[in-house]
Each structure stands twice: as structure tokens, then as C-alpha cells.
Structure 1
Amino acid sequence: PWSDNSLINGKNNYNCSMAPANSTCHEQACLAHFRFRPGKKHRLRLMNTGAAALVHFSIDGHKMEVIANDFEPLVPYAADFVTLGVGQRTDVLVTADADPRATYWMRSTISLNCSVAHTTVGRAIVSYEGSRTISAAAAAADAKSFLCRNDDLARTVPFFPQPADPHPDTVETYTIDLLTNATGNHVWTINNRTQYTDYNNPVLLQAYAQNFTFPTPPPPGTTAGDPNVYNFGRNRTVRVVLNTVYQSAHPMHLHGHAFQVLAEGPGPWDGRTVVNPANPLRRDRHMQRRFGHLVLQFAADNPGVWSLHCHIAWHASMGFTIVLLEQPAELARTQVPFVMRETCEGWDRWSKTHVVDQIDAGI
């Protein structure tokens, strides 16, 4: 679906000619306003909390110094704009060294090369303390990038070094595609499997009980109750290779870990290239470019059941998820939280007497 607007701190103006009939709309609703202190450095914590769009963040007349991705500190580097896929967070430093009498546009520009939107630019106002001007100057050219990906891995170096294990315990390769299922609906598949959650049979409770007889994968392209679980057993280092054969970019997110990004690029991975093996980028979300590859590696030191999924809401809804079962023997020795057991038992009782209209994959 197309988004209606692009907001910064919940605010932006809107072209009311695009509003639905009989709806309330104000052309000049409001813009967020940020005050900079002349000569000082300001830390901005940027978060893309949208549902689908990749955005480029910039401030007219100012450069940024990128210092962290997803709470992982980086060796600082200069940037004119920052790319944020859905769910990604980036910390930047901005020095207030421009003309203090002027005002400037802060922008969140949606990339139409990998997103669809009716309003492509979210704007806010930046002014300096002491300035009497409260409205920004006429709009200049918006920051643009036609690449639906994050900054080059060679630029994004963690501040605290951590080398990549050249010999992981296991390497798993997954192919991502978009198919049509037996009912005529589009679904995302990973190795020809589409995730579909069964709320009455949670994977985590099965793992606690040491029941690993998860449903057999259904026919390719269907959504017949497949939790899409991969059991990594006692493996301590896991490398995941994601190859997409479809024309969409994906912000990939792994729960429970900060992974190392070993490689990304066009086409399938060559099986050899690792960028900065002595200290690869670490974060918990990274963009996978269209028709491209993304190679992740993580320490399997957090016993549990963790989702690896695309963070675009519609893609997750269409089954774009795999579930990683990690250290199941250690997991079984932990205590099931009471609130989880209580919630699941309550759901079981309710669903026996009510029709559950599960319209999507369930995550």
C-alpha cells in the first residue's frame, strides 16, 4: 500500500487534495521545530518507525558524523545523509556551524526506487538559538539516493573490534522469492517455505518441552501451518547467507542478537568475499538489496526461539520469516515465564469457543 505522509516526530504538512472525501484535513498542520546552539555538537538519535518505506535523512547546510547503528558504536565517519530501512536506528552528531541567522530544512526523504508514497518528503525546521526566524527558507533539492541499501560496509566499522570467525560451525543458505499460493494470494518464501504461525502451538513452548517434531513443510507457495523452524542445535557460530531472486529490497532483522554483516551486494554470494573480516559491521537490522545477497554471522549464545524476518510490515504479514531455534538443550533448563504460560492457556480456552480469523502469517 502507498503511505499517505512522511512524518518527523509525528508532524508534517499534507496536500489535502489527496485526502479521502469528507475527511478532515488541514493544509498547514504543523512542523516539528528543533533549536541548535551555535558552535555546539548535537546528538540526534534517528529511528525509522514506518511500515514500509526506506528513507534518507538529511539537514540542509549541515554535515553529519555517523557514530552508531542499532546501538552499536562506530568509528565516526562523515555523511551528507543517512539511510534508514524500516526499524533501523542510527546516531549522528551535527555541529551547529552554519549561519545562525538562517533556518534550515531537516528532511526525511522516501526513496521511490524501493518504496511507494503519496508524500515523499517529511520536513522539520532547524533554527539556531537567538534567531528570530521561525519559518524555514524555500525548499532546496531533496537528498536523493537511488540505491536501496545502507552505507558501504567498508565505511561502517565498529568502534570496539570483534573479528569474524572464519570457520563457523554451520553455514545455512536461504533463497528468497515471491510466489502465488493455491488460493491465489502472494506469499514470500524462504527456501520455498512460507511462515504461518499457529497461536495454539507456540514454537517456544514446544522447545521448552523438548518437542522438536515441527510440522513438515507444506507444498511450495502454500501457507498450511508452517512455523518455518530451523534447529541449530548446539552450534555456537552460525553463518546465514540470504540470496533474493526478486526485485524488492528488504530490511532484514534478527531478534535476540547483534549480528556481523560479512558481505552484501548484487547477485548471489560468491562464497568467499568477506568485508573487513578483522572487524565487520555489527547491528541487528541491515538492508538486503534487490536481486542481491546478504551474509550474516552471529554467536549462538542466547538460548531461545528467534525470528529472522523482513521488517516491512506487508512482507512479514505475507510469511517472510524463519524461526531459529538456538541451544535447545540449554533452553529446556530455563523456567517458562508464568505470564507466558497463563496467556497461552487463556488463548487455548478462548479459541475453542470462538472462530479465529487469522488473516495473515500471524506475526
Structure 2
Amino acid sequence: MLFSRATTLLASTLATFGAVANAKDIELDWTVRWKTVNPDGLKERQVVSINDQFPLPVLRGNKGDRMIITVHNQLENPVRNSSIHFHGMYQNHTNHMDGPPNVCQCDSPPNSSFVYNFTLDQDGTYWYHTHTSESYPDGYRQIMLIDEDEPPFEYDEELSFTMSDWYHELNEIITKDDFLTLYNPTGAEPVPQSLLINDTIQPKFLVKPNTTYRLRIANTGAFSGFIFYITGHNFTIVEADGVYTDPAEASSVYIAAAQRYSVLFTTGPDTNTSYQFVQVADSSLYDVIPDDLRLNNTAWFVTDETAECSDLSREDIYNNKDLWKDPTEDIALDDFTSEDIAYFDDFTLVPSDHMPLLPDPDQEFTVKVVLTNLLDGVNYAFFNDITYTHAKVPTLYTVISAPDDETASNGTIYGADTHPYVLEHLNVVQLVLNNFDSGSHPFHLHGHHFQAIVRAESLGGSDSDYYPYDPSTQNVTFPEFPMRRDTLVVKPYSHFVIRWVADNPGVWFFHCHIEWHLTQGLALLFVEAPTQMRQIYTNIIPQSHWDSCTANQVPVKGNAAANTENFFDLNGQNMQQKDLPAGFTARGIVALVFSCVCAFVGMGFLIWYGLSDTPDQLAAEAEHFVHDEEVPSENDIDNQSDLNDQPFRNERGKRFTDRLRRPFGHRSSDDN
């Protein structure tokens, strides 16, 4: 084992020296501001642009290059802070460039600038997105491509794609008005209005005959998972989340939010043909499917740019029985969904470097995923009864401002509800994640690729039927060469186990990459090697980072409560909402909400009924009596707008009744 790891390290070091010899600085100057666009052709809305460009610029560089990006925040109307996470980057010795605000930096407010400066010490397919104000679904995201001298596979040309879901309102508005409210006690996630490929619908790409293409694909969506396939053709998977794999042939693959793949696809000899690249939404994630939501989107690869590409029908998309889990089953077309499609099992992928299973862990942590309500009636997401609540001081700054190494190694100082785990340097770490929720979740670890050593199928139809991971009673065999990636899906009522080496000192976020679940608090922190962190980061934080904290009035020294005198005094720390009283369950919340709603609606109907029986002329005379105005004529009254057009009924009343009509979801873990 030690010989294998030493050999891998030597090969990696030699490759790095080769890359550094040809490395260059890539200096970019970005101004971030709002722009009005219409990506799906259905509704104009504001999106985030960079240098007035949307879709945002693709980031590209070579392994060993240094990225220096100066970001000027001009997001003023509405006001939004800015940060960027370069998803999948290890950020070795540059944890302060990782992006999550209140974790390792402060985000930058409007009319300020922030400089990102880090080395591309990996290759593969990645992406970048903001980690602030739930705004990456507002367009603040794009693919990131890092090239290598000699990848372990051959191809002729390359195409890159993003797949995403799309909402017609700003995400922060959806969150505040519809999602994290008392009126959505079950936490039903907002369903998107459209699906996009490269931030548009049904794009065409010119390809050549007899050519092998590397297709680099990233799911940059907020919520949806996608199945993608090329109609009538197989492809070869050669990369997952920046980790090259042994070639694996597939007819379709599932790509969850934040995951990436490279696949090889070879065109045929025909000079007048087209190939359909199909994106199908995982509709099992949605609590309700609107009638006007199209659950698929298609791109065409064409050998003739004048080729006509007719819109695909449902029959075209689902008639390929090679994709069906059971091709002998006679499924009515209207009943056929993404759940009937058989896709490649990514757990079987083998990294091309054949890195063996890591040894037994030095540290192991077990977390339980639950979604339920707190005292304010809102549905939150929890690891072990903790919904992530950020500290008053960015956690990295607490590490370096602690009075000594011993204090910095005590997880207490980082706050109860940041849910911190302190990792010792170079330990093998194992995380067991048990999902007691009825939905699947793609979990992302910052700063690392991890080995996925266990992933169970869905076990039971409810949390009472599910049995958490227990190797003493469950027949578990670990892979010899486990798949490595940075984002892994746990299935409903199921679990996974991951391992990695704590060889990258930093504060690393671990969270669900469904943006709605992150806003609900489904996150925790790994404080990795704090003693080594203090040696690395104490004197290297750039001035623009301190300036952002000053502009946001965020303290930069002290424990989670910003106490600099006694790091073990956490009085005043940010805390999650209080628990519900004992015995008050999510079902009780729903019942209470419906009772209150019904009462208000009942009173509303009585008032409306009483007013509707009032003669128009009598109502007008009453208005005249109150306001001492001229009594309008009967004709004037007939020409007035109906009560339904009045501002109260048209806006507040409509929103209220819309909430009544909205189906509540199934996302409650405590349904008793």
C-alpha cells in the first residue's frame, strides 16, 4: 500500500514539474452586473453577466497555470454580494480563494473588488459558480476546462456543454416568498420552468464525419438531475468530476447537480446526418410537475449546418427501448418517465490510475440527513439535528486568530451550529452518511476528491423502514479501486460511505448541491489540520479580502461569536431556530397551516359574499358618504373594474390562494 501511494505521488510530482515548466499567468478582469435576457424564449428576466456577457465566459487553462481574476461587483439593482467557488479545485495552500462566504472569506458587496489568485494544479472538467445569496441559478455559473499534455485517451476534437434548470424569477425572491416560508411547511422545492443546454434550448453544433469527439458535460443546475444520451448511439465514459477513468461504454448516464463527465463519441461516415443529444429531467425530484414544463431538451450534432432539425416528440425521445429498464414492459407513453430509463452505474467506474482502497480510517464520522420543521414553521435540512448556521467570523479567520494551536484544534470555538469536525493532518477520514429523507441528494466536498466505497440502493419506503449503514450486519464489500469524485448522490432512504486523506489543510465545506437544500442548511464544515493551516495562512490573506469584510461589517478575529478575549465563550454566537415543542410534528405544522388558511379563506368568502349582494349604486353612495365625493352614475359604475382587478385581490389575494392550490411535498422526515 505504501509503495503504491509513494509511486502515485512520485508520478504526480514529475507531472507537476512538467506542467510548471510551461505554466503561464492567466489574468482576467471581470465586471459582474445584471443583464436582461430570455434564455428559454418564454420570459425575459435579469441574470448575472460578466463584462456584459451571458452566458458567462468559459474558463480555460492548462494544468500548472495561475489564474488571477479581479472581480468587480456591480450587482446594484437588486443589491447582491458576490463570491466565486471554482468547483472541484483543491485550492491547496489557497483555501482563502475557495469562495464560500463566512467559511473562508467574506463576499464582496456592490462597488467593491475581490482578487482570486490560485494555481490550476489539476486537469479535467470543472465549473465555477457563486456561493452567495442563492444566486448561482440566476446565471452566475459556467464550465471550467483544464487541459493536460497527455490525457489517458485519444480523441480528435472537443465540445463542451452545460446542462441546467431555469427559473423565471430571481432565486432570492423565490426563496423568500415561496420556499422558506410558513406556507411551505413540507419544504416542497420550487420546480423550474425550463431546461437549458448551454443556456439555451435546442442548440445545434456542427461536427465532422468519422471524428471522435470528447464531450465535456457539466450539470450547472440548481436542483434537477439529468439523464443524457445520444439517440441510437453509445459513448465511452473517460472522466468523472476531474478524475480520469478506465473506458466504460454506456448508452446513457445520470448527471446530478454539480457533477461532470467526459465521454467519447465517434460520428459516422455520413456527410448529411444529425445526432440527437438528449437531456431528460429526473422528474422523481419534483413534488409536482406543471402541465407546461417540458421534461426534456435536445441539442443536435449536425454534419451539415443547413440541416433541418425538427422538434423531437415524446415518442422520438422515449421510443428507444434500449434505454428502458425493462424493454419488454408495455408502458403507456404518457406514463413513461425518467424513472423508467436505465442509466450507467457510476459507482462501477474505475479511476485510470488504479489508486487502491485507502486503509482503515483514523477518524470516522456518521451523519444523519433529516428534513423537518423548527419553531418558525419553516422546513429546514439537518445533519444530526444541526441545520448549518454560519459563524460571525469566517471560520478560516477563527483558525488563524486563535491564541495557540491547541485552541485552534478544539472544535468548540467554531460554533455549535456550523457543525465543525476537526481533522488531524494526514489522517484517513471516513464519512458515513445515512439519508432518512425521501429525496436523493448530491453531496459535494470542497478541497478533495474522495473514494466512494459504499453506496446502497434505496432501502425501504419510509424512514421507519430504513436501516442505516452497519457493516456488522450488512454484507459489504469495498471496491479494490474505488471510484473517486467530488460530488456523489445518495438515494432516498439509503446511505453512502466515502474516504479521503486529510492532506489539504483548510476549512472545507461539505453540503448538498441542490441549492434549495443548501439554503435549508444541509451543510457542515471540516476544519482540516488547523495547526498546519495557521502556519500557511496567518500572513497571506490579501488586502482585498480584508476590505470585503470591512465593507460588510464582518469581524475577522475571534471565535464563532467574535469573542477575542475568551475563545471558549460562545455567548452571542449565531444559532439555528429553536426546536418545535415536544410532540409537535411536521404533520401538525401542516394541519395548523391549513386550519389557519381555511379560517382566513372562510372569512374572505363571507366578506366577498356580503359585498357581492350590495347593489352597485348603494355601494357607490356609501363610498360617496365616506369620502364626500360625487356619486358616480350607474354607467360609470358599470364601466369600473371588477373587484377581482383591484390591487389587493389581484396581488396579495392571488398569491395567497396560489399557496393554497400549491401541492405540499413529501419532504418531511417526521410524518407522525
Instruction: Give the structure-2-normalised TM-score.
Output: 0.46
Which structure has the higher relative contact order (CA within 8 Å, separation 6+)?
A: 1
Residue 71 in structure 1 maps to residue 242 in structure 2: yes
- Of all paired residues, the percent bearing the same amino acid is 26
Query: CA 1:9–1:90 in structure 2 vs 1: closer, same or farther (change >3 Å)?
Result: same
Match of 1:209 in 2: 401
Match of 1:285 in 2: 487
Following superposition, the deviation at residue 132 of structure 1 comes to 4.5
Query: Which is richer in helix?
Result: 2
Greater Rg over alpha carbons, structure: 2
Match of 1:270 in 2: 470
Query: CA 1:57–1:114 in structure 2 vs 1: closer, same or farther (change >3 Å)?
Result: same
Letter of the structure 1 residue corresponding to residue 317 of structure 2: A
Query: Which is richer in strand?
Result: 1
Match of 2:446 among 255, 275, 279: 255
Contact 1:61–1:98 under 8 Å retained in 2: no
Match of 1:134 in 2: 308
Distance 1:81 1:150 in 2: 5
Alignment of 1:187-206 (within 5 A): 187-198=380-391, 200-206=392-398
Match of 1:242 among 416, 421, 433: 433
Match of 2:503 among 279, 301, 315: 301
Moved more, 182-191 or 166-175: 166-175
Give the number of aligned pairs. Answer: 324
SS at match of 2:524: strand
Distance 2:357 2:262 in 1: 24
Distance 1:9 1:347 in 2: 34
Match of 1:109 among 262, 275, 280: 280
SS at match of 1:316: helix
Distance 1:236 1:53 in 2: 35
Contact 1:234–1:327 under 8 Å retained in 2: yes
Match of 1:221 in 2: none
Match of 1:163 in 2: 356
Distance 2:269 2:489 in 1: 32
Query: CA 1:216–1:327 in structure 2 vs 1: closer, same or farther (change >3 Å)?
Result: closer
Residue 83 in structure 1 maps to residue 254 in structure 2: yes
Match of 2:514 in 1: 312
Unaligned runs of 5+ in 1: 13-30, 218-225, 351-357
Contact 2:396–2:506 under 8 Å retained in 1: yes
Letter of the structure 2 residue corresponding to residue 348 of structure 1: Q
Following superposition, the deviation at residue 94 of structure 1 comes to 0.6
Match of 2:527 among 325, 344, 363: 325
Contact 2:252–2:342 under 8 Å retained in 1: no
Match of 1:337 in 2: 541
Instruction: Give the structure-1-normalised TM-score.
Output: 0.82
Letter of the structure 2 residue corresponding to residue 133 of structure 1: A
Match of 1:10 among 194, 199, 214: 199
Query: CA 1:84–1:149 in structure 2 vs 1: closer, same or farther (change >3 Å)?
Result: farther
Distance 2:234 2:284 in 1: 24
Moved more, 258-267 or 248-257: 258-267
SS at match of 1:146: helix
Contact 2:511–2:518 under 8 Å retained in 1: yes
Following superposition, the deviation at residue 177 of structure 1 comes to 0.4
Query: CA 1:270–1:151 in structure 2 vs 1: closer, same or farther (change >3 Å)?
Result: farther
Contact 1:207–1:331 under 8 Å retained in 2: yes
Query: CA 1:206–1:216 in structure 2 vs 1: closer, same or farther (change >3 Å)?
Result: closer
Following superposition, the deviation at residue 240 of structure 1 comes to 0.3
Query: CA 1:137–1:215 in structure 2 vs 1: closer, same or farther (change >3 Å)?
Result: closer
Distance 1:154 1:303 in 2: 28
Match of 2:377 in 1: 184
SS at match of 2:195: coil
Match of 1:43 among 206, 214, 226: 214
How big is the alpha-carbon RMSD for the aligned residues of Structure 1 and Structure 2? 2.5
